[in-house]
């Protein structure tokens, strides 16, 4: 080949190499951006999920911190109220003691009352050992006795009650010592 043909060949080769390099330099950033875009598309949903999870954990952590602060405040107020609890405990002890005293007094009075009742009755019943016989019905005997008494009394025996009351109001002058019948006698 001639020198001129060789120079043209080398120039052509060099220009091809340069255009290829320019083409690579021109397209490489777009390829890189494509790769970056592809990577972002794949990774961004997972990143958003992690972000939401981090926000939720942050809210939970903040809630737990508030709960701890409230708990600490409650413990501090309980520590300050120790004297109140001591007073309550002393009052409970005193009330239990007073209740026991009242119960003791009530039991003592009850035992004393029962002992006085039982002792009087026991003493009285110890001396009385009676077996009472069964008594007959005295109703008929009393009626019979009442009728005999009315017959013995005299003229007012046959009169009615109203007549007897008028005769009682005005005693007979013929026999001043005569017994008069009352309203309450059995008939």
pLDDT in tens, 23-54: 877 777 777 788 888 988 999 899 999 999 99
Whole-model pTM: value is 0.32
Average pLDDT over residues 4-17: 87
Rounded Cα distance between 181 and 172, Å, is 13
CB 181 within 8 A of CB 164: yes
Rounded Cα distance between 122 and 116, Å, is 10
Q: Is residue 20 very low, low, confident or very high in pLDDT (cuts 50, 70, 90)?
A: confident
């Amino acid at each position: 080949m001639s020198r001129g043909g060789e120079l043209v060949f080398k120039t052509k080769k060099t220009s091809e190499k340069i255009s290829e390099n320019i083409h690579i330099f021109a397209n490489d950033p777009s390829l890189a951006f494509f790769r970056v875009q592809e990577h972002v598309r794949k990774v961004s949903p997972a990143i958003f999920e992690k972000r939401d999870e981090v926000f939720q954990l942050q809210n939970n952590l903040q809630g737990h911190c508030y709960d701890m602060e409230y708990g600490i405040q409650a413990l501090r107020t309980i520590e300050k109220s120790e004297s109140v609890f001591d007073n309550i405990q002393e009052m409970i002890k005193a009330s239990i003691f007073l209740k026991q005293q009242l119960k003791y007094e009530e039991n003592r009075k009850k035992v004393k009352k029962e002992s006085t009742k039982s002792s009087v009755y026991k003493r009285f019943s110890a001396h009385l050992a009676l077996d009472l016989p069964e008594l007959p019905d005295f109703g008929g005997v009393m009626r019979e006795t009442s009728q005999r008494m009315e017959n013995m009394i005299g003229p007012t025996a046959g009169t009615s009650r109203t007549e007897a009351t008028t005769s009682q109001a005005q005693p007979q002058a013929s026999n001043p010592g005569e017994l008069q019948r009352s309203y309450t006698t059995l008939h």
